[in-house]
């Protein structure tokens, strides 16, 4: 095959897919919500499922909230964090913040797919944000190259939900304590507006876990410390 023939063949194939509506130009120049962009999300929001809560009311309001209002914080931009960031960005969340204190090592590249060899040595949060912002229209990922303990109470209060991809029990306990401190009770009744839900996940080899913690309503990290395996340093 002559030099340049393969790239030209790929270019023509991409043009055919775009013309048939089977692909979308995700370049930075396209900032609109093209037809069908959120069809995969609507399937979850506009119809009930077998495990739907009785109080769930299908409709477009939830999607409008995701696209225009909801602000989510992802803690950790490692193996699980990369997957979380990608899934959130492709599911309609447009105001995503990510905090991670680590830099990219060559050993990360086999599983942390938002990074490339040229990124080794750079902050994970910053590179992950650059990757997503350059590829997903209207997505605004804000990075923080810091420890979670470096941010004050006002920083965490701005979010509607926090998603953790941490590998440390100490860090989990810290963010759990922060969210629990936000709870406000009036005459012994919990104020729902003071609750910031926490989704906690972790992986080890081929095993993993995930759970939703509603501060003040469900068991928190401190309540279930015995569920975590011994830490290996």
DSSP per residue, 73-135: EEE--SHHHHHHHHHHHHTT--EEEEE---B--GGGTTT-TT--GGGTTSBHHHHHHHHHHHH
How high is the pLDDT of residue 208? Answer: 86
In tens, the pLDDT along 189-224 reads: 999 999 999 999 988 888 888 999 999 999 999 998
pLDDT at 2: 47
Residue 31 lies in a domain: no
CATH number of the structural domain spanning residue 137: 3.40.50.720
Half-sphere exposure of 30 (CA within 13 A, CB side): 10
Question: Is residue 25 a part of any domain in this protein?
Answer: no
pLDDT of residue 144: 98
pLDDT score for 76: 97
First-residue to last-residue Cα distance in the chain = 52
Give the per-residue pLDDT at 21. 56
* Total length of the chain: 233
- Rounded to whole angstroms, the Cα distance separating 45 from 43 reads 6
* Tokens of residue 23, six digits: 């692909």
Segment 46-67, tens digit of pLDDT: 888 888 888 888 888 888 888 8
Domain span including residue 218: 39-47+57-227
- SS3 state at 167: coil
Are 145 and 185 in contact, with CB atoms under 8 Å apart? no
Token reading at 145: 């190259």
Q: Is residue 8 part of a domain?
A: no
Q: Is 217 within the bounds of a domain?
A: yes
Q: What's the pLDDT at 22?
A: 54
13 within some domain: no
Please say whether the beta carbons of 74 and 114 come within 8 A: no
How are beta strands 71-75 and 95-99 bridged, if at all? parallel
24 within domain boundaries = no
DSSP state, 229?
P
| Residue 6, domain member (yes or no) | no
Domain count, the chain: 1
Looking at the DSSP bridge assignments, the partners of residue 73 are 97, 162
pLDDT at 59: 85
Q: Which residues of the chain have pLDDT under 50?
A: 1-3, 27-29
Residue 21 lies in a domain: no
């Amino acid at each position: 095959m002559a030099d340049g023939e393969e790239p030209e063949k790929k270019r023509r194939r991409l043009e055919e897919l775009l013309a048939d509506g089977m692909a979308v130009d995700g370049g930075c120049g396209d900032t609109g919500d093209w037809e069908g962009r959120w069809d995969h999300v609507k399937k979850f929001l506009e119809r009930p499922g077998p495990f739907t809560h009785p109080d769930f009311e299908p409709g477009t309001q939830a999607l409008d909230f995701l696209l225009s209002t909801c602000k989510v914080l992802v803690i950790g931009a490692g193996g699980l964090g990369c997957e979380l960031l990608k899934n959130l960005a492709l599911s309609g969340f447009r105001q995503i913040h990510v905090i991670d204190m680590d830099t990219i090592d060559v050993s990360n590249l086999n599983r942390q797919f938002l990074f490339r060899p040229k990124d080794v040595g750079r902050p994970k949060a910053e590179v992950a944000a650059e990757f997503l912002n350059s590829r997903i229209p209207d997505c605004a990922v804000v990075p923080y190259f810091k420890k979670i303990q470096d941010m004050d109470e006002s920083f965490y209060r701005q979010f509607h939900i926090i998603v953790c991809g941490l590998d440390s029990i100490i860090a989990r306990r810290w963010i759990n304590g922060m969210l629990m401190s936000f709870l406000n009770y009036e005459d012994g009744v919990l104020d729902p507006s003071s609750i910031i839900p926490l989704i906690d996940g972790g992986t080890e080899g081929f095993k993993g876990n995930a759970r939703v913690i509603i501060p003040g309503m469900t068991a928190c990290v401190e309540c279930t410390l015995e569920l975590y395996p011994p830490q290996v340093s």
